[in-house]
Amino acid sequence: MATGAIRANTIALLAGRVAAALTAFVVAVIAARELGEDFGQFGAIVGAGFVANTLVTFGTDTLIVRAVSRDPRGSGGDLAAPSLALQLGLGMFFTLVAGLAYLLGIASGAVLIQAALLAPQAVITVAGSVLRGRQHMVQMVTGNAVGGVVSVIASLALFASRTGVWVPILALGVGQVVTAMINGRQAQLKLRIPASTHEIRSLIRVTSAFAVMVIATTVSGQITMIVLGGFGVAGAAGFAGAMRFLEAARLLPASAYGAAFPAMADRVHRRPAYADWSRRLLYYAAAVTVTLIVFAGPLSSAAFGELIHGPRLLQILALGIVPIVLRLRLSFELIADGKEGQVARAAVATAVFIVVGSFLALSIGLASDDSASGAVAQVTAAVHTAGTVLNVVVLDQFNRRSKSSNAETAARVERHR
């Protein structure tokens, strides 16, 4: 695929992701101003929902993209249809567990709503993967945009007469249902129950490396927000707000590499033009980092109000934007080369580092009674950023070995000609 085609797909994919992210950001702004410090609990539940959704999808999304991109017909039916069935089944299981916990008084209504949304999220994931594999990026924009508008309207309407953490979660869910209906129809999804346990085991075996990679990456990104919000640590709301800025900052590079991924099967990532293109994304990341650090105070206050330690947490997390872009590049390149196992190992190491560091900071803070000052939130934010840097270091070593191995293979082939 030519660089121009990648650019066009990037713009289309970016537009779709911007629509989804803008929805989440606007609903978060509304929720933060309505909920105050309870916004931290909202962030924790949504973060837990991301982790649960990752467990349900089991890493099949990237595999579906790769399979469809290599299929001239772009059907992906052999993988997409049974994958969707399994994801819906797992989503129903989580919903039943959450429903039982709600009846027993263990979980809140907001948790039950978030669990029920795993079903439309499964449709969105599979449909989006099929459309990305076909390089029909423009078709994704419609569903995301329409669903986003519905979520914002639902949020304003619900908050006008109700209040509570469940309100923004339900508002986002209404939009997700609309997006699932539109994108599912565009992708012409079919539902097929796996014919046997052997097929289920085969599917799990094929996707296991991707699943470990995606689950570990998701845990790394969400665990700090879940810990802070779940334990009611001072600064949890500020951390949740700062994470919204971080998610917005990664939109462009994530969309760019996502759009380029199907073309990586043709080794586009080994061409000089690709290196120049990637370098410009790093310049973008550096500019965003400086902007967020310098203007953290006014940006945080304008978007989310006066949340405890919001600006300071934004400055700490902003230091991880450049490493995030590097991580995206290295991960996609290794996956394209069939090295997803290496990406998975790096992701697991990072997840262990962040999980242990977050709980250690929490335990020390609670023991020393420093949690009220917001020190725990700042330390866990630093752990989050350090974990991203660690991930890049490990991936870079794997990438260097991969390039060296490819060069040796090419040299051996040339000698035998």
Res. 403 pLDDT band, cuts 50 70 90: low
Q: Mean pLDDT in the chain?
A: 83
Res. 406 pLDDT band, cuts 50 70 90: low
**51 has a pLDDT exceeding 90:** no
Between 2 and 108, the higher pLDDT residue: 108
Query: What is the C-alpha to C-alpha distance for residues 237 and 242, in angstroms, rounded to an integer?
Result: 9
Closest CA to 145 of 109, 108, 183, 116: 183
Closest CA to 319 of 385, 376, 273: 385
Residue by residue, DSSP assigns 312-357 as HHHHHHHTTHHHHHHHHHHHHHHHHTT-HHHHHHHHHHHHHHHHHH
Overall average pLDDT of the 311-320 stretch: 95
Q: What is the pLDDT of residue 8?
A: 65
Closest CA to 252 of 227, 208, 288, 292: 288
Q: What is the pLDDT of residue 219?
A: 85
Q: What is the pLDDT of residue 14?
A: 66
Torsion 348-352-358-362 (CA) sign? positive
| Range scoring the smallest mean pLDDT among 7-21, 83-97, 99-113, 154-168 | 7-21
Overall average pLDDT of the 278-306 stretch: 93
Q: What is the pTM of this model?
A: 0.73
Res. 138 pLDDT band, cuts 50 70 90: low
Closest CA to 15 of 144, 184, 175, 127: 144
Between 222 and 140, the higher pLDDT residue: 222
Residue-wise burial string across 319-351, b where 16 or more C-beta atoms lie within 10 A, e elsewhere: bbbbbbbbbbbbbbbbbbbebbbbbbbbbbbbb
Torsion 289-293-298-301 (CA) sign? positive
Query: What is the C-alpha to C-alpha distance for residues 276 and 255, in angstroms, rounded to an integer?
Result: 17
Residues with Cβ within 8 Å of 12's Cβ and at least 6 positions away in sequence, in order, are 137, 138, 140, 141, 259
Determine contact, residues 241/310, Cβ cutoff 8 Å: yes
Name the token pair of 329. Answer: 């590049």
**74 has a pLDDT exceeding 70:** no
In the chain, the largest separation of any two C-alpha atoms, in whole Å, equals 76
Q: What is the pLDDT of residues 350-392, one digit of tens each?
A: 999 999 999 988 887 766 655 455 688 899 999 999 999 999 9
Length of the chain: 417
Residues with Cβ within 8 Å of 13's Cβ and at least 6 positions away in sequence, in order, are 132, 137, 140, 255, 258, 259
Q: What is the pLDDT of residues 183-195, one digit of tens each?
A: 888 888 777 776 5
Between 27 and 416, the higher pLDDT residue: 27
Between 228 and 294, the higher pLDDT residue: 294
Residues with Cβ within 8 Å of 239's Cβ and at least 6 positions away in sequence, in order, are 40, 43, 224, 225, 228, 229, 313, 317, 377, 380, 381
Residues with Cβ within 8 Å of 258's Cβ and at least 6 positions away in sequence, in order, are 13, 132, 332
